[in-house]
Structures are given as structure tokens and as C-alpha cells.
Amino acid sequence: MVVLGAGPAGLVLGNILVDQGIDCVVLERSTRTHVQTRARAGFLAAHTVRILERHGLAEGLRRRGQPHSTCEFRTEDDRFRLDYSGLGRGERHTVYPQQDLVTDLVTRFLARGGQIRFGTEAVAVCDADGERPTVAVREADGRPGRWRGRYVAGCDGQHGAARRSLPPGTVRHHRDHGVTWLGLLAEAPPSLDAVGYAVHGRGFAGHMARTSDVTRYYLQCEPGTPADAWSEERIWDELDLRMGADKYGPLHRGPLIQRSVVDLRSDVLEPLRHGALFLAGDAAGLISPSAAKGANLAVLEAELLADALTDALRAGDPAGLDAYSARCLTHIWRAQEFSHWMIGLLHGPSGADGESLFHNSLRRSRLASLRTSRAQQDWFADHYVGV
């Protein structure tokens, strides 16, 4: 079995397969240090934690992850909190930085006898329709190489070789939401004991804890803004303003240790299987980070694919592989729908024309329902923390 990509999808898949005694190599373009220090997600859904526990992959997050179950919405007028562990199915998130999860998964995979070829870039997947598909690679020393397996799992993200190798006719549903965030990591403790969503006339601002001394912030900016366009002081002043620091308390400032530009885009590929090539994680569909679903979907899809591959390779039963694409797409579209709803809740047009005013009034009404309607809160909680 050849797996492309050592992110959450590829590593969960690889771990389950190796645990089932299935020979598996993971090809990863970057270095081990790079994948183990790449800060991205942090909010793991309860379902994700259960999957990781089921496969003996949750030791680190059980020890160092922090339970989390409150979000706070702020507007220019007021604020309200939802404790979603008391709503809907009553589940919570575990906050555990993605780079720590990846580190755990790499360590476990190698300890189980799996093989990871760091610095090996997949260039193309060939003969996916045949019995022995091949992955053409550029090895760490720059030389071309080839890897063969009975199946190939494309877990190499949105710009990977799996996507590039799809046959013509693969459908890509996509949407550019026309919204851009500056994604910031601050070396500073969290400023509130909740996820903070500030819905402001100047644009969205977000606050998400990562560890006791690192916090993620998001700041909506004009599309096309370079990551380094704003000074640290301007960023903190803008975060203070949008998050209402004068009314609700100051933010803990600290050096910004990472900045990226996040254009809110979504896409879904269909189908997720082409012969012996299967897509999982961001390679299968990209979801905007507005509802923190990407890593959770990646883990869910990896388990579905691992179970289906195990049935096919160990018991000769291909039914799970045949059903893989349709099963994943059901989950992916539900997550996309909620993520899209969140984008509509958190962002509005800035104009004073009739259409902008109409949109922003709808948004206010949506927030008011969330604040006052128990049914709406239960719906929110189930979708927010579920996959």
C-alpha cells in the first residue's frame, strides 16, 4: 500500500493499516521536522478523539489536550456565550495542536514498523486503473524513482500529486467565498476561556486557544493583502477594536510567531475513487477553516478508508472500497454546509447599499436566533462539534 502525504489523513490511515499487518509506505515531500512543526488546526471533535482512541493513537492528546466547550460571540453592541457541552449531544472539543498530533502519529507509525520516506515528492500516480498502480517520485537526492502497491491513497493535500493524476471528467465543485483572513499565531496566553468570534462592521476577528502560551487569532482583511502588510501594533489594535477590548477586557499581546494569508475557499472532488487510487483529507475536499472541520474530516475519512482497505486486502471483500466515495461525500457535504453557514454568520458585505444592508440584517437575525432559541443552539452544537 502506498500512501501519499504525512499529514493527519495519511498518518492515521498508515497507522491503522500497519496495525492490521498491511505493508505500507508513506511518501512525504517535506522533512520530518517540517511536518512536525507545521502549526495549523487545534480543535479536535469528540468523534475524532474516539477514532484516535480506538486505534491507540490518543495517548498524547489524552495527556496534553485541553477539553474545550465554550464559544463567545461578540458584536459591536453586546456578547453572548454558548456552552455547547450542555447543548445538542453534549460533546466537547479537545484542543491539541495539529503539529503535536502529527508528531505522535509519526512516532507511533514508525514504532509499529511503518516506513516513511521524508523528502520524497510524488510526481504522478500512473496506471491507477490497473492491478499494480505506480507512483512516480522525486527522491530526496533528486533522482527519479517509482513505488508500486496494490492501492494508492492520495492524502497529499490540495496541491498534491493525487489530484493532478485524476482522469479528465472528475468533477470539482468549488467556491471562493471572497473572504480573506490573516491567520496569526501569537506567543501569548489565551485572552479568554472560550473561542471568540467577533462580528464587526470592520470585519471578522477570531480568537482560539492553542496552548497556555500560544494563541491563534484571525483577522479579516481585504483580499490580496500580503501577510506582512500590517505592523504588529496595527494588528493588535485592530484585534482590540473588533473584539471590544475596551468593554470586555484587553487581549494578551505577544510577539506574532507566524502569519499566513487564508483565502476562504472550499472544494469537493467527486468521486473520491479512481480505480486503485483513493483520495482522503484535503486532497478529497478543501474546507474553509471557519468551522474547524478540515483535520477532523481527514481523520474520519482515513478510518473509513483503512477499514475498507483492510476488508479488501485481508478478507477479499471490496464492498467497503466500492462504498467509500459515497460514504465520505455524505460527511464532507454536511461539514461544507455548516462551514458555509458559519461563513455567512461571521462575515458581511461592508457596503451601505440595499443588498448589503439586507444581508447584514439577516446576519443579525441569525445571531439573535442563536442567542435565544434552544432549538437553534442544539442544532449549532451538534454541527459545531460533530463531523
Q: Which is nearer to ligand RFL, 260 or 373 (CB)?
A: 260
Catalytic residue among 55, 68, 200, 331: 68
Helices 319-346 and 354-372: crossing angle in degrees, nearest 10, is: 110
**Residue numbers 288-317 binding ligand RFL by CB under 6 A:** 289, 292-296, 298
**Residue numbers 235-264 binding ligand RFL by CB under 6 A:** 262
For the CB of residue 217, give the shortest distance to ligand RFL in the complex, in Å: 11
Is residue 289 flagged as an active site residue? Answer: yes
Catalytic residue among 274, 289, 331, 340: 289
Phi-psi region of 113 (alpha: psi -120 to 50; beta: other; left: phi over 0): left
Place of cell 511536518: 35
CA 152 – CA 145 distance, rounded (Å): 16
Residue 225's φ and ψ, nearest 5 degrees, are -70, 125
Classify 44 as helix, strand or coil. strand
Place of cell 471533535: 45
Is residue 324 flagged as an active site residue? Answer: no
For the CB of residue 262, give the shortest distance to ligand RFL in the complex, in Å: 5
**Could you say which of 4, 24, 116, 243 contacts ligand RFL (CB under 6 A)?**
4
Rg of the chain on CA atoms, in Å: 21
Q: What strands, in cross-sheet order, belong to the sheet with 171-186?
A: 79-83, 70-74, 195-198, 205-211, 214-221, 171-186, 256-270, 285-286
For the CB of residue 90, give the shortest distance to ligand RFL in the complex, in Å: 20
**Could you say which of 2, 3, 17, 122 contacts ligand RFL (CB under 6 A)?**
122
**Site map 83..112 versus ligand RFL, x via CB under 6 A:** ---------------x--------------
114 near ligand RFL (CB under 6 A):
no
Helices 319-346 and 374-385: crossing angle in degrees, nearest 10, is: 130
Q: Which is nearer to ligand RFL, 116 or 251 (CB)?
A: 116
**Residue numbers 18-57 binding ligand RFL by CB under 6 A:** 27-30, 35, 40-43
For the CB of residue 79, give the shortest distance to ligand RFL in the complex, in Å: 22
**Could you say which of 3, 57, 153, 161 contacts ligand RFL (CB under 6 A)?**
161
10 near ligand RFL (CB under 6 A):
yes
Nearest to 153 by CA among 25, 41, 296: 25
**Could you say which of 1, 2, 3, 7 contacts ligand RFL (CB under 6 A)?**
7
Cis before residue 271, ω within 30 degrees of 0?
A: yes
Q: Which is nearer to ligand RFL, 27 or 342 (CB)?
A: 27
For the CB of residue 300, give the shortest distance to ligand RFL in the complex, in Å: 10
The count of other CB atoms within 10 Å of the CB of residue 309 is 25
DSSP state of 290: G
Instruction: Determine the distance from the C-alpha atom of residue 308 to the mean position of all C-alpha atoms in its chain, rounded to a whole number.
Output: 23
- Nine-digit cell at 300? 474520519
Classify 180 as helix, strand or coil. strand
219 near ligand RFL (CB under 6 A):
no
- Strands 115-118, 25-28: pairing is parallel
Is residue 384 flagged as an active site residue? Answer: yes
CA 313 – CA 72 distance, rounded (Å): 47
Place of cell 502560551: 213
Q: Which is nearer to ligand RFL, 10 or 320 (CB)?
A: 10
- Nine-digit cell at 245? 477590548
For the CB of residue 26, give the shortest distance to ligand RFL in the complex, in Å: 9
Is residue 293 flagged as an active site residue? Answer: yes
**Could you say which of 1, 61, 106, 155 contacts ligand RFL (CB under 6 A)?**
155
Q: Which is nearer to ligand RFL, 42 or 114 (CB)?
A: 42
For the CB of residue 92, give the shortest distance to ligand RFL in the complex, in Å: 14
The count of other CB atoms within 10 Å of the CB of residue 310 is 18
| Active site residue ranges | 68, 197, 289, 293, 384
Binding site for ligand RFL (CB under 6 A): 4-10, 27-30, 35, 40-43, 98, 121-122, 155-157, 160-161, 183, 262, 281-282, 289, 292-296, 298
